[in-house]
Amino acid sequence: MITLSKAIHCQDYREMIEIAVGFVKERRPRGSIQLLAKATGCHSTYIAQVLRKERDLSLEQGLALANAFGWSPDVKEYFLLLLQMGRAGNQELKKYFKNKITLFTEESLDLSPRDRALKGGLESQYEAEYFGDHRYQLLHALCLLGKDLKTSELIKLTSLSEVDLDYILSRLELMNLVKLEKKIWKGTENFLHLSKASPAIHKLHETWLSRVISDLNKIHDQNTRYSGLVLLSEEDIVLVREEIVKLINRVREIATKSKGGKISILSIHHYQAYNL
């Protein structure tokens, strides 16, 4: 089933048809032409000509096909807008439907209000979702690396299923943190900032602590780990905290200037565990 987040990356209604029938590596499943012909009530030769961009479906045939695929109303409307743009007889009319498609996309995904809100950081409604799942932050970081990663490469790097990857990327796209350009996922210019007062700060620590615990068995020379109790006076607790803050700020400076390429996890915790 095609979701709207996947459909809006299609620039031609034929692309949506190909996705729906399972078009893979320039090959369609056997019998797909006949199935499309049956759904639209026309000859298979005509369908083949449509897919070769020699002819266009009528609006009635397009609607019949969308119904046969069982698409949701918003996906169906997007498909019919693409079809009308494809059938337009001149550039002025094509531009008209192109503008309608852009407006429909913005309204459906609520892009305009989101863009305005994100100028000051991530919207609060997305904070718990983003900071509460390390997979969101991992995929976002990978898209920011600038390595031109396709969906198949992201699956290989993260070991996520295609379904989970597609869902998380669609959510990150909705948050305007990533975008798809020519089948390559890239990060946007929008930034994230989580204030200390945000309830999602607990989600952030929780999700990465869980990941750190799950990675404890992955020990090699490049890992740096230390865990243990230290006995400190009140004055030394303050001094240790100051040193940790300096370290974190220094790491931020290094990360800001770094060209990236590798993703590391930094987890630092210092707190009074027992009230003695």
- pLDDT for the residue numbered 79: 94
The pLDDT of 260-268, averaged and rounded, is 75
- pLDDT for the residue numbered 256: 75
- pLDDT for the residue numbered 85: 93
pLDDT value at 118 more than 50: no
Token code pair at residue 121: 């950081």
Residue ranges of domains in the chain, CATH in brackets: 4-109 (1.10.260)
Q: How far is 135 from 133, CA to CA, in rounded Å?
A: 5
Q: How far is 195 from 89, CA to CA, in rounded Å?
A: 53
Q: Report the share of the chain in percent with pLDDT over 70.
A: 84
Instruction: Please answer whether residues 139 and 172 qualify as being in contact, where contact means their C-beta atoms are separated by less than 8 angstroms.
Output: yes
* b/e 234-259 (16+ beta carbons within 10 angstroms → b): eeeeeeeeeeeeeeeeeeeeeeeeee
Q: Report the share of the chain in percent with pLDDT over 90.
A: 18
Q: How far is 194 from 223, CA to CA, in rounded Å?
A: 27
Reduced DSSP (H G I as helix, E B as strand, rest coil) percent helix, strand, coil of the chain, to 5: 60, 5, 35
Q: Is the dihedral of CA 127, 128, 129, 131 positive or negative?
A: positive
pLDDT digits (tens, 9 = 90+) for 23-33: 655 566 777 88
pLDDT digits (tens, 9 = 90+) for 149-165: 888 889 988 888 888 88
Indicate the range of 67-71, 82-86, 107-111 predicted with least confidence. 107-111
Q: How far is 63 from 47, CA to CA, in rounded Å?
A: 15
User: 180 φ, ψ to 5°?
Assistant: -105, 120
Q: How far is 241 from 243, CA to CA, in rounded Å?
A: 5
pLDDT digits (tens, 9 = 90+) for 168-192: 888 888 888 888 888 888 888 886 6
The pLDDT of 59-83, averaged and rounded, is 92
- pLDDT for the residue numbered 262: 72
What is the pLDDT confidence band of residue 78, given thresholds at 50, 70 and 90?
very high
* b/e 105-127 (16+ beta carbons within 10 angstroms → b): beebbeeeebeebbeeebeeebb
- pTM for this predicted structure: 0.49
pLDDT value at 102 more than 60: yes
Instruction: Please answer whether residues 139 and 169 qualify as being in contact, where contact means their C-beta atoms are separated by less than 8 angstroms.
Output: yes
